[in-house]
Amino acid sequence: MLKIEGLKKSFHKNQVLKGINLEVNPGEVVGIIGPSGSGKSTLLRCVNLLEKPDAGAFSFGHLNFDMAKVTKKEILAVRRHTAMVFQQFNLFKYKTALENVMEGLVVVQKAAKAEAKERARQCLEKVGLQDRMDYYPSQLSGGQQQRVAIARSMALKPAIILFDEPTSALDPEMIGEVLRVIKAIAKEGHTLIIVSHEMSFIADIASHVIFLEGGYVLEEGSPRDVFTHPQQERTRQFISRISAFGDFSI
């Protein structure tokens, strides 16, 4: 479904991604883990072409192109089929939850207003916000705002949803509600790529785990392979440091 080969990205002299291969099949949940600064967000942003890569072969459905020479048309085509959920929600402040979810449907997908409203309602219901549709972001908790952002991404029916640390800006008591919603989406068979520091969540939900370090995929495999039988010493260190905080169970 999505295949990226030899992805490279530098910021000035700092080469963050040094040749990444990534393959995502329909219905798969890919978990990306790795230390801070290892390039997890950059990788997601390159998948969505929010960053322009320096090199890489991109193949997605019928689309095949050289990422270093990507055209505006190709960028739009990729964006039409992917949605991103950010750490900081990125909701429109002066729009209600319902209007936030409708926005992309009306503006990007040119849906009729009534149709967009109905779809937005359904998506908000799915994330448990049927009684918060007319609230503005400032009237919602962090967990609720993130659920609006998730509903907004689902409304567009993307082929892949990309999550960049969807719970790291949340108070601890709100993390669970957001993780439960993401898990429900995964169970419905959606294709997801999730960057998260919530190791027990990744271990639970991912079908494939990628450990990013030093610009490369240092290790990958099933959660069991990566978390309980890591091949690389560096992965072992990373996992054990996290388990030491009790954030990990499988």
Ligand X SMILES: Nc1ncnc2c1ncn2[C@@H]1O[C@H](COP(=O)(O)OP(=O)(O)OP(=O)(O)O)[C@@H](O)[C@H]1O
Binding residues for ligand X, rule: CB under 6 A, are: 11, 14, 16, 34, 36-42
* Identity of the residue, 16 or 127, whose beta carbon is nearer to ligand X in the bound complex: 16
Tally of CB atoms within 10 A around 56: 23
Backbone phi, psi, residue 221, to 5°: 160, -165
Q: How far is the CB of 21 from ligand X (least distance, A)?
A: 17
Beta strands in the chain (DSSP E): 2-11, 14-24, 29-33, 55-60, 63-66, 82-85, 160-164, 191-195, 208-213, 216-221
- Over the window 25 to 64, marking each residue x when it contacts Mg ion by CB under 5 A and - when it does not, the resulting string is ----------------x-----------------------
From Mg ion, ligand X, none, interface partner of 240 (C-beta below 5 to 8 A by class): none
Q: How far is the CB of 33 from Mg ion (least distance, A)?
A: 11
Q: Binding to Mg ion by residue 191, rule CB under 5 A?
A: no
Q: How far is the CB of 97 from ligand X (least distance, A)?
A: 27
Q: How far apart are CA 213 and CA 230, in angstroms?
A: 14
* Alpha carbon distances (Å) from 204 to 131, 209, 248, 250: 30, 11, 10, 7
User: Measuring CA to CA, which residue among 77, 72, 67 is closest to residue 42?
Assistant: 67
Residue-by-residue DSSP string for 129-154: -TT-TT--GGGS-HHHHHHHHHHHHH
Q: How far is the CB of 12 from ligand X (least distance, A)?
A: 7
* Identity of the residue, 45 or 190, whose beta carbon is nearer to Mg ion in the bound complex: 45
* Identity of the residue, 45 or 117, whose beta carbon is nearer to Mg ion in the bound complex: 45
- Over the window 117 to 156, marking each residue x when it contacts Mg ion by CB under 5 A and - when it does not, the resulting string is ----------------------------------------
Q: What is the DSSP letter of 226?
A: I
From ligand X, Mg ion, none, interface partner of 132 (C-beta below 5 to 8 A by class): none
Question: Contact positions toward Mg ion, by CB under 5 A?
Answer: 41
